[in-house]
Amino acid sequence: MTATKPNETPGPLDGVRVLDLSRFIAGPLCTQILADFGAEVVKMERPDGEDSRHHGPYHRDESIYMFLYHRNKYDAALDTRHPEALGILERLIAWADIVVENYRPGTIEKMGIGYERMKELNPDIILVSISGFGQTGPDSRRALFDAISQASSGLMSMTGEPDGKPTLSGTYIADYTTGYQGAIGALMAFLHRERTGEGQLVDIASFDTMFSALGIRLMSQLMLGQDMPRSGSRDLLTAPVNVYEAADGPLYIQAGTASLFPKLCAVMERPDLAGDPRFATVEGRMAEQEYLEGEIGAWTAGRTVESIERALDEAGIPYAKVASVAEVAASPQIAARDMVVEAEHPELGTIRMPGNPIKMEKTPPMVRKAPPRVGEDNAYVYQHILGLSAQDMAGLRASGAI
């Protein structure tokens, strides 16, 4: 999928106006989701660029970090500490349907654009406030990044080998989850406004999103008062499930259910395992994981990943080669699902990005605009949207406001 001309194909959010005052990942991802489905998103950032623009690696002096979360947006530069900034922000708030910000709670109030002020400027405004610990509670004013969310929510305590240290996820899972929750919250609030005319505050906390994603371990604690230990790559509830080494690399095999275990035994030509009463139940197989994994590992060690995959596929047993990022990015499945998309930037050339995982028959997400450079759309935002004159623009540039 390649870039189309702006507004060539209206999306389901066509005509929805979004003011993006966020930075880093969660907020920008939230607004990019809205932009992918047609919302007009104006991203504001300081004239020297938000912090993310100064994180490598770089493509032609531009941080590729910025390519992840900023396509389909109009970018306008603004020094929010400048005396003229407040008036500009207020006019943009009056223009917007939805405002997204992810400052620490209390910051936008100090800037003079807290929710109460926003409602004075735009009575039906929707404000999506994304923060570390939320707008309420004893930890609400604490600073937070993704790793802190993983540690504080309980996620890190669950990740890693049983006899090892707690570890981080390999990606910014808290920020991604929070970004999607923010988009859901924005859409729910917009639907409510369409029905009632009422705007509202949407309060999204990274801590909350991670806590809500702890799954069965959380339920075990809430309902049974029991802590479930780290399990590494094993499944929490069934066995045998783990990573096994083939002759030419690792693969993951999930054969822990009552129907799958006998199929694996048949593939391995081990009827003795299938008929052993010790392994007849999930509980029995869980108790004998070490032994079963040793037998499966001995079987995989003498075979290639390809031959194992072929045998497991024929038997209907879930499996996956432990793929590298390079391998999965080049896979036919990724191509078939449009999960790598491209946009042509007039200065940076072709930009390749992850596609949107939300697939819709009638109103699919589109790449309409390449990720912009800082202030790339100043003229559009300040002159087309706000109606400033060229002389006004020159004055703002001269003063350092934009």
Closest alpha carbon to 15 in 146, 194, 270: 194
E strand or H helix that includes residue 205: strand 201-205
Contacts of 259 (CB under 8 A, 6+ apart): none
State how far the alpha carbon of 109 is from the alpha carbons of 94, 105, 150, in Å: 17, 8, 28
Phi, psi of 72 (to 5 degrees): 65, 15
Task: List, as one string, the DSSP characters of 63-74.
Answer: EGGGGTT-TTEE
State how far the alpha carbon of 58 is from the alpha carbons of 52, 67, 399, in Å: 11, 10, 30
User: Could you tell me whether strands 98-101 and 17-20 are parallel, antiparallel, or unpaired per DSSP bridges?
Assistant: parallel
Q: Is the dihedral of CA 234, 235, 236, 240 positive or negative?
A: negative
Task: Give dist(CA 396, CA 402) in Å, integer.
Answer: 6
Are 63 and 56 a contacting pair, CB within 8 Å? yes
State how far the alpha carbon of 253 is from the alpha carbons of 88, 321, 325, 328, in Å: 57, 9, 19, 18
Task: Give dist(CA 46, CA 137) in Å, integer.
Answer: 30
> Is residue 227 flagged as an active site residue?
no
Are 71 and 366 a contacting pair, CB within 8 Å? no
Exposure on the CB side of residue 133, measured as CA atoms within 13 A: 14
Catalytic residue (one of 20, 75, 97, 175): 175
SS3 labels along 319-370: EEECCCHHHHHCCHHHHHCCCEEEEEECCCEEEEEECCCCCCCCCCCCCCCC
Location of structure tokens 């990015």 = 329
Contacts of 114 (CB under 8 A, 6+ apart): 108
Coil/strand/helix, residue 59: strand
Task: Give dist(CA 51, CA 65) in Å, integer.
Answer: 10
Query: Catalytic positions, please?
Result: 175
